[in-house]
């Protein structure tokens, strides 16, 4: 349970609810709590549990830390789930119990998990991940025709991997990616293999094996099907976007720009959207252009500023991708001496996707640097740095 809050948690919940023009009964219904519970919490006579506070925050469209600054329940829930995720994965190739859900029920749960991943709701995702992974594996082993089951298993693996990777469980992340690589051939779907190659790049980022990652992505690009429809166009475009970023981390500016040009060309024939679980389109390419500039280092920050001067991500993009843009822009702004702007960018990132921002190492590093130089509003910066774990 969160610690007692002298700052008026109940009053903040009530004020946020009223700002959203919700009645107590509306909030209770959206948070799956009783109206008596909501009334008691707002009056201050009852303190919500971690899960209740997260449910209320989700219903209000804010992160729980905006209601209670000391809240760390999401992090606790994620780390508590990691051993159970590992246990579900341990016997991935051994048929165990029969599936608990029908294929349609599993498909609905997988779609929900994908939405949680894209909106950076890692606490909700982690809570369901162990059982969802076990059921996807059971469905795969029980299926006479494994193609649909394999697609669902890869999607589950990717969603669960987002939790492991973002929260620093990199060995578990690598095992989940290997699960995806093992399952993908059973789907008989070349586009799914492209998706797995895209996600696999995480292991190269973690190991700082940038050249190897670039070569692996270029091989995946060569093997990808031709861009004949929106899904195949987006699959190839996302591979080029990611190849550009890892080439930038490898300090290979020419290769990065070549891949960006290919991604840009493909995006011109594609509406911004989510294809096979990955966002792609003109806005996504612009975000990756900024990411490449930051990856290439201090000498390229003017390229990042040029993008930021003329454009900012729209709300149509997934929250995780939008917050990533502001985190990387903050890094460039810090390098360029624009320290107040860097702090503002971090605050925008937090507002968009608090869980993603809090676990992002570059956000933590930038906040720590800003705190040391003390060029932003000191009190609010201290609160932010304490929240993100930079102190």
Q: What is the pLDDT of residues 52-84, one digit of tens each?
A: 888 898 788 777 877 886 776 778 889 899 999
Strand (E) or helix (H) holding 3: none
Buried b vs exposed e over 305-334: b needs ≥16 C-beta within 10 Å? Answer: bebbeeeebeeebbbbbbbbbbbbbbbbbb
Which range, 58-67, 109-118, 154-163, 370-379, is most confident? Answer: 154-163
Q: What is the mean pLDDT of the chain?
A: 92
Per the model's pLDDT, the better-predicted residue between 384 and 2 turns out to be 384
pLDDT score of 138 more than 90: yes
- Tell me, yes or no, whether 86 and 16 share the same domain: no
Q: What confidence tens digit (pLDDT) does each residue in 112-122 have?
A: 999 889 988 88
Of 188, 209, 224, which one is at a domain's C-terminal end?
Answer: 188
> Is 376:366 a contact under the CB 8 Å cutoff?
no
- Tell me, yes or no, whether 81 and 102 share the same domain: yes
Please report whether residue 304 resides in a domain.
Answer: no
Distance CA 146, CA 166 (A): 30
Please report whether residue 363 resides in a domain.
Answer: yes
Of 153, 188, 223, which one is at a domain's C-terminal end?
Answer: 188
Beta partners for residue 280, in sequence order: 273
What pLDDT is stored for residue 5 in this prediction? 45
What pLDDT is stored for residue 130 in this prediction? 96
- pTM, two decimals, is 0.85
pLDDT score of 25 more than 60: yes
- Tell me, yes or no, whether 89 and 184 share the same domain: yes
Distance CA 104, CA 222 (A): 34
pLDDT tier for residue 377 given thresholds of 50, 70 and 90: low
Kindly report the backbone phi and psi dihedral angles of residue 61, in degrees, each rounded to the nearest multiple of 5, phi listed first: 75, 30
- Tell me, yes or no, whether 46 and 143 share the same domain: no
Please report whether residue 307 resides in a domain.
Answer: no
Distance CA 340, CA 337 (A): 9
Counting residues of the chain whose pLDDT is more than 90, the rounded percentage is: 75
| Residue pointed to by tokens 């051994």 | 94
- Which domain range does residue 102 map to? 72-188
pLDDT tier for residue 6 given thresholds of 50, 70 and 90: very low
Residue 270: HSE in the Cβ half-sphere, 13 Å Cα cutoff = 29
- Tell me, yes or no, whether 174 and 126 share the same domain: yes
- Tell me, yes or no, whether 327 and 360 share the same domain: yes
Burial grade of 355 (CB within 10 A; 0-12, 13-18, 19 or more): buried
- Tell me, yes or no, whether 170 and 140 share the same domain: yes
Distance CA 111, CA 126 (A): 15
- Tell me, yes or no, whether 150 and 163 share the same domain: yes
Please report whether residue 257 resides in a domain.
Answer: no
What pLDDT is stored for residue 131 in this prediction? 95
Please report whether residue 11 resides in a domain.
Answer: yes
Please report whether residue 256 resides in a domain.
Answer: no
Cα 91 to chain center, whole Å?
26
Domain count along the chain: 3
Of 188, 204, 229, which one is at a domain's C-terminal end?
Answer: 188
- Tell me, yes or no, whether 99 and 154 share the same domain: yes
What pLDDT is stored for residue 57 in this prediction? 85
- Min mean pLDDT across 112-116, 150-154, 178-182, 193-197 is at 112-116
Counting residues of the chain whose pLDDT is more than 70, the rounded percentage is: 96
Please report whether residue 172 resides in a domain.
Answer: yes
| Residue pointed to by tokens 């594996």 | 137
pLDDT score of 348 more than 50: yes
> Is 176:199 a contact under the CB 8 Å cutoff?
no
pLDDT tier for residue 2 given thresholds of 50, 70 and 90: very low
For 185, the token pair is 């051939």
Residue 276: HSE in the Cβ half-sphere, 13 Å Cα cutoff = 24
- Tell me, yes or no, whether 32 and 133 share the same domain: no
Please report whether residue 327 resides in a domain.
Answer: yes
- Looking at residues 198-220, what average pLDDT do you find? 97
> Is 65:354 a contact under the CB 8 Å cutoff?
yes
């Amino acid at each position: 349970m969160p610690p007692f809050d002298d700052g008026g948690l109940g009053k903040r919940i009530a004020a946020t609810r009223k700002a959203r023009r919700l009645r107590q009964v509306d909030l209770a219904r959206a948070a799956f709590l009783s109206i008596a519970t909501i009334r008691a919490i707002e009056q201050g006579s009852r303190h919500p549990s971690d899960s209740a506070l997260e449910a209320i925050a989700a219903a209000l469209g804010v992160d729980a830390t905006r209601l209670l600054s000391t809240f760390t329940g999401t992090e606790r829930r994620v780390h508590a789930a990691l051993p159970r995720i590992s246990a579900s994965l341990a016997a991935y190739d051994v048929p165990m119990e029969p599936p608990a859900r029908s294929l349609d029920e599993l498909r609905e749960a997988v779609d929900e998990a994908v939405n949680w991943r894209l909106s950076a709701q890692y606490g909700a995702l982690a809570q369901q991940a162990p059982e969802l992974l076990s059921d996807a594996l059971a469905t795969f082993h029980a299926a006479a025709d494994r193609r649909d089951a394999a697609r669902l298993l890869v999607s589950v693996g990717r969603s669960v991997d987002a939790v492991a990777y973002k929260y620093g469980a990199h060995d578990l992340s690598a095992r989940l990616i290997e699960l995806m690589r093992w399952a993908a051939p059973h789907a008989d779907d070349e586009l799914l293999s492209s998706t797995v190659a895209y996600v696999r790049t995480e292991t190269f980022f973690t190991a700082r094996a940038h050249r190897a990652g670039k070569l692996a992505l270029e091989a995946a690009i060569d093997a990808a099907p031709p861009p004949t429809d929106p899904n195949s166009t987006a699959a190839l475009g996302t591979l080029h976007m990611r190849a550009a970023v890892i080439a930038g981390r490898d300090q290979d500016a020419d290769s990065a720009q070549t891949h960006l040009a290919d991604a840009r060309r493909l995006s011109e024939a594609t509406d911004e959207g989510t294809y096979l679980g990955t966002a792609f389109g003109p806005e996504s390419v612009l975000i990756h252009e900024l990411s490449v500039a930051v990856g290439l280092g201090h000498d390229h920050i003017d390229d990042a500023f040029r993008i930021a001067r003329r454009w900012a991500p729209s709300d149509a993009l997934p929250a995780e991708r939008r917050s990533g843009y502001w985190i990387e822009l903050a890094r460039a702004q810090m390098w360029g001496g624009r320290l107040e702007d860097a702090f503002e960018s971090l605050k925008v990132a937090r507002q968009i996707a608090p869980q993603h921002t809090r676990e992002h190492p570059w956000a933590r590093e930038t906040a720590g640097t800003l705190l040391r130089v003390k060029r932003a509003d000191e009190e609010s910066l201290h609160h932010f740095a304490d929240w993100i774990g930079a102190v």
